[in-house]
Structure formats: C-alpha cells, structure tokens
A = this chain, B = another copy of it.
Amino acid sequence: MAQIEGAEKSGSRAEMREETERAILDAAERVFAEHGFGGATMQAIADAARLPKANLHYYFASKEKLYRRVVERIFTVWLEAAESFDTESGPEAALSRYISRKMQVSREQRHGSKVWANEVMHGAPIIQDYLETTLRDWTDSRIGVIRRWIDQGLMRPVDPRWLMYMIWATTQHYADFAHQIETLNQAPLSDAQWQDATDTVCGILLRGIGIDPAPEAAFKPAGPAA
C-alpha cells in the first residue's frame, strides 16, 4: 500500500535503504534549516520525507543522531568546496576559484549552510570535536599556503586568518541571509545577479590584498578550464 511515491522504484535492499536514508537526511536538512534543532519536530521531518514518524526512528535512533548526520554531511560538502583552493598555484586563481565555488555552494546548498551556521552559532554542541580537529587542521594548512604567497610577494601581507574569515563570511552570507537579501531585492537573485555578486566579491577581495584581477579572474561555471 505504501511505496506509491515516484521516488523509490525497486533496487537491491541496500540501495533502497540508502535512498530512504538520503531522503530522510534531505528532509531533515530542510526542516532543521527552517526551524533550528529545537524548533524542528520529528513529525515535521517525517511529513517532509513522506514517511510515518515511527519509520524515521527505524533509520535514525534519535533526533540528535539524525541531526548529527545532517551536520556532518554539510561539513564535508563545505570542506570539499574548498579543495580547489590548493590545486591552483597563485593566489589570484586559487582564491577567485575558491570564492566562486563557495558562492555556488551558498546558492545550491542553502539549507545545509544554514544548519551549519545554526550549529556553530549555538556553540557547536554536537560537532565541537570536528572544529577542534578537522577544521583546525584544514585551516592551519590553508593559512600556511597564504603565508607562503605573502613571503613570495604575491599579495599584500595580511593576517591569513582575517582573510579566511572574510571569505567564509561573505560567501556564506548569501546562504544564511538569503531571506533578507531576497526581501531587499524583492525577488530571488537572478543568474546574472549571482554572477555579478560573485565578480564583485572576488574583485574587492583580490584588489583588497593587492592583486589587480584579470578580467576573467572571477571564475565562471562553464568557462574554459585548462
């Protein structure tokens, strides 16, 4: 009687399980982003996932464990979006590409960004360990890269931490404060507006650290790669 929804056809047991878990995580991400951990109810998540509430507890033992999985998933995306940071050689290409990808994540993973922001804002009660290990290591490594650029005279000397925070803040703002931006804009941002915002952020940040960006500096999604 169930199983009518178009989503899950058939597949191996393991595949279906994975699909259901992903559906629940997607639903949970939306609900947690909209209402916060305390404001979200398992019933609302169940409704969003089109499952009876008891079924949720079959896949995820508790609300907190479900939440943890959601936050962990975001965290991964969030770090991966930065991977291109150190595949480029100089600050101009590396930073403009990193910023562009983070802006893209803000546009496409709005809910995830919000859940992450929420978690950190409330003191990271669930994922504090991630902050102290993975994030710290990652950050230290990128700080080292920036420091080397400075030593090589490729950019103005600024404390790399403040620069990183500026990039994080500016790009994530477009996800976390999307509602405010859209209210002021009287509409969601268009493709052109996203591109313009990205170009402006890149331009200001690069010039701000003493790099006069080439016209094509702000990475465009479908541009020539190599």
Contacts and interface: CB of A to CB of B under 8 A. Distances in A.
CB-based closest 8 A-B pairs:
A38-B39, A204-B208, A169-B173, A38-B38, A208-B208, A36-B36, A162-B200, A169-B169
Nearest to A207: B208
Given A131-B184, A184-B131, A121 B173 contact: no
Interface stretch (A10-18, A52-60, A175-183): A175-183
Contacts of A210: 207
A143 to B, nearest CB: 10
B183 A136 contact: yes
A205 interface: yes
Given A169-B170, A170-B170, A203-B158, A183 B132 contact: yes
Interface stretch (A20-28, A81-89, A122-130, A146-154): A122-130
B120 A117 contact: no
Contacts of A47: none
B122 A34 contact: yes
- Residue of A34, A38, A121 most packed against chain B (CB within 10 A): A121
Contacts of A135: 180, 183-184
A85 to B, nearest CB: 16
23 contacts: A36-B36, A36-B118, A37-B39, A39-B39, A39-B122, A121-B177, A135-B184, A158-B203, A158-B204, A159-B197, A163-B200, A165-B174, A165-B197, A166-B170, A169-B169, A169-B170, A169-B177, A203-B208, A204-B205, A204-B208, A206-B208, A207-B208, A208-B208
A204 B99 CA distance: 15
A158 B207 contact: no
B37 A36 contact: yes
A181 B122 CA distance: 13
Contacts of A173: 165-166, 168-169
